[in-house]
Amino acid sequence: MNIIKCPNCSQPLVHDKQSMRCENGHSFDIAKEGYTNLILPNQKKKLNSGDNKLMISAREEFLSMGYYDFLIGSIEKEIIALSQKDKGLHKQLLDLGCGNGYYTRKLLNDQATIHKFGIDISKIAVTTAAKKDKNSIYIVGSNFDIPIMDDSVDIIVNVFAPCDLIEVLRVLKPKGLFVKVIPIDNHMTEVAKLVYETFIPHESDITKEIEATERLTVVSTKNVIKEIEVQKVDIHNLIKMTPYYYKFSEQQIQQLEMMSVTLSFQIIIAKLK
């Protein structure tokens, strides 16, 4: 099944040499890095271009050191446990707001039957993702107008990025899983306290919003917390990959040699009825 949707006419897109084409003749080039840009020219002015090159580069370097791999392991365990109840792993996984593709390429990497797709609004991020991962399909597209066919995805993973639950409902198959990961409580409080007088714990109403859709039922909620020791270069990358970076002076960052940082996340998994 071709699950990628033409942004012009909503028909399925198929590979045609170095492009993706629908039955109505709309064609989109596949870049040399391997991704396809499905943002239409008239959409570019309306949509945020996403994370910039500095943030993407810092995120790739930091995550490649394995600091967040405990989170990936926890997500995998939850997905596998729930999938086994439905007699086996699902087939299509969409990383919605995939960024540089770290979670896309790492999640369920040993499952040969999983077909993975990553979508992000940032062309810079998707370029990085496609260069690093030739086993997944990457698309420049919006989380609020997902270029994926209706009822076509078994698992949607959405790590930290904003999303539209109406679009999630449209894209998910019946009994499909929606995996939402958010920062909670004192996530990165040590970094925040360097630039803010008062730290405000992370809060979210996403669980209530998911339940309010009536078609999604929250089936699993898990908090995962870890304290890490971060050395100089990794501290700099950690700060640069977050909005906190713009509150620091370059001198402040350079003075940081080592620090303990709390990583605190919640994994929420909902199932489509």
Nearest CA to 194 among 128, 150, 154, 239? 239
The model carries a pTM of 0.94
Does some domain include residue 95?
yes
Phi, psi dihedrals of residue 228, rounded to the nearest 5°: -115, 150
Does some domain include residue 11?
no
Question: How far apart are alpha carbons 128 and 120 in whole angstroms?
Answer: 11
Structure tokens at 263: 């990583």
Residue 66 has pLDDT above 80, yes or no: yes
**Helix axes of 232-240 and 53-63: crossing angle, nearest 10 degrees:** 140
Domain carrying residue 79: 31-272
At 85 the pLDDT is: 72
Nearest CA to 171 among 183, 160, 190, 155? 155
For the chain, give the mean pLDDT: 93
Does some domain include residue 239?
yes
The torsion region of residue 143 among left (phi > 0), alpha (psi -120 to 50) and beta comes to alpha
Does some domain include residue 8?
no
Question: How far apart are alpha carbons 128 and 100 in whole angstroms?
Answer: 5
- Evaluate whether 273 touches 217 at the Cβ level (below 8 Å): yes
Residue 94 sits in a domain whose CATH number is 3.40.50.150
Could you tell me the pLDDT band of residue 156, with boundaries at 50, 70 and 90? very high
Does some domain include residue 75?
yes
Counted domains in the chain = 1
* Arithmetic mean of pLDDT, 2-26: 95
How many Å separate Cα 13 from the centre of its chain? Answer: 22
* Range of weakest confidence among 33-42, 45-54, 57-66: 45-54
Does some domain include residue 222?
yes
The C-alpha torsion from 178 through 54 and 188 to 208, rounded to 10°, is -30
Does some domain include residue 116?
yes
* Arithmetic mean of pLDDT, 6-33: 96
Does some domain include residue 12?
no
Residue 49 has pLDDT above 90, yes or no: no
At 46 the pLDDT is: 54
- Evaluate whether 151 touches 168 at the Cβ level (below 8 Å): no
Mode of pairing for the β-strands spanning 153-159 and 216-231: unpaired
